[in-house]
Structure 1
């Protein structure tokens, strides 16, 4: 993985966000997952240079992660993140953007598209859990597999590099033998951040109140691609098929030999699928909701 590019900071509704800004072209926001030590660069660094060849890529550290502000969140969590992300777009002068997201970040983007439809042109969502039910069977560990993994990682003797390696190979990568040591180091070192450790140790709910977005998905008009790993350790492909049927313009692509972080594990294939989807959307699909074409 290449070293992180230049850091930038901007306000989003009173929250100080850290982000990277690469390339030129259509505005594209990348939102990362919620695992220990995750950042925009740890999750999208391997694939970002491919996208930056034809797009302006804004890789944002979500609030409470990376170098972004670690302040606690109160009230409905996905509503909070959607509002702050929309405010960040205002600060950055971005009217509308495509969103390419993993896990936690994808749920934020789905709620953003429901609540602020004029800000989202298209969505690509991988490994996210916006609703708490599955179509065929109960969700693994009652939908708490990610939270349980975080508790285990920060519990006991606390974070270690080996615990991070085991977490990633068990839950995020299909082929753990291909996991680069520098990815483990990047995630482990970030997980030692005092603010992140304090949030993990809190007995309250510093991440906000959990929300089920079942009611919001039907409101999303943006073309949406659910891009899933066949071997995703959190949610099998029947789950995103259900989501694709709930979103009016939903689509599903399942990638073989990939788990939860396919953008890292198979960056070339991931880039090809995402750019193919975004490139297939004609101008009409990318106009703001309610836009009327006027011909002379």
Structure 2
């Protein structure tokens, strides 16, 4: 799949889920696999996983979901604990789509949603592959970069000043999401920049209150996760160095860690074939 295919996302479909509307792209047949994207400006299920999901779709039924407040999904103001809200709504989406249990492949923000879902609704999750997520606010060796606020700070810079621009999007991706800044694909920059101009997303980013809900630390919940969990991490993740997912893997009863070289926060985009090989090896070992 070339970058022009990534820049032109499929039309996708919509589903109602407990009072909100989700947009998703579905492809392939087989075991249900839900992909949840990160929380960066302009991120969608397609922008984060469009390059790698067709590989999974060879033998899996893949759902690339726009999480709430992103992409073409609804953008409600969230009140109360944010990860509990997202987990409950994602379960409602699974109900709407007739999915009893699924494997989850997730980046950053989406991974924290999936971890909380696995802790609160264990019967709905077969396994988890988590990349670049921050479910707890502490690290094992040193304070987290920018006090754990690097993502929120970057979003504030992107939407602040003169507002979003193509160059600001490219700079954000090159600085925080890609190991090789020269390799950032222009098509993906354009896709995310155009999505970031969505008036509802811009309003959420600039709101003075907290429309995303109350932040939750999941330290007390990770030990409840029954599903086998692979933390698939970039060696040069700009948000969380590999000592952090090693700590997470030890907090989960059946957790493990693989660290990929020469990638940062979005290894599934930088090295999609290698990401797929590692992830599907983990899934096939579990489920055959």
Q: Does 1:205 align with 2:216?
A: no
Which of 102, 107, 112 aligns to 1:107? It is 112
Cα deviation, 1:176-207, whole Å, max 9, x if unaligned, reads 11111100000100000000000011000000
* 2:75 matches 1:56: no
Check if 1:91 corresponds to 2:84.
Answer: no
> Per the alignment, in what secondary structure is the counterpart of residue 221 of structure 2?
helix
The equivalent of 1:189 in structure 2 is 194
Q: Deviations over 1:46-97 (max 9, x none)?
A: 1011111110000000000000001110000000000000000000000000
Confirm whether residue 153 of structure 1 aligns to residue 185 of structure 2: no
Q: Give 2:259's match in structure 1, choosing from 238, 250, 254.
A: 254
Could you state the TM-score of these two structures normalised by the residue count of structure 1? 0.95
Pairwise CA distance, 1:120: 0.2
Shift, 1:5, TM fit: 2.1
The SS at the match of 1:263 is helix
Structure 2 CA distance for aligned equivalents of residues 242 and 201 of structure 1? 34
Is residue 171 from structure 1 mapped to residue 179 from structure 2 by the alignment? Answer: no
Find 2:275's aligned residue among 243, 251, 270: 270
SS at match of 1:204: coil
Deviation at 1:282, TM superposition (A): 4.3
- Aligned residue among 40, 45, 56 for 1:40: 45
- Separation in structure 2 between the aligned mates of residue 155 and residue 6 of structure 1, nearest angstrom: 30
The 2-side partners of 1:235 and 1:115 are apart by 25
Q: State the distance in 2 between where 1:111 and 1:25 align.
A: 25
SS in 1 for 2:232: strand
Equivalences, count: 283
Structure 2 stretches of 5 or more lacking a match?
A: none
Structure 1: tracts of 5 or more residues without a match = 284-296
Partners of 2:178 and 2:20 in 1: how far apart? 32
User: Please, what is the CA RMSD of the aligned residues?
Assistant: 0.7
Kindly provide the CA deviation profile for residues 104-158 of structure 1, in whole angstroms up to 9, marking residues without a partner as x.
0000000000000000000000000000000000000000000000000000000
Note the C-alpha offset of 1:12.
Answer: 1.6
Q: Secondary structure of 1:95's match?
A: coil
Give the 3-state SS of the residue equivalent to 1:124 in structure 2.
strand
For the residues of structure 2 that align with 1:137 and 1:9, how far apart are their CA atoms? 43
Hey, what does 1:72 align to over in structure 2? 77
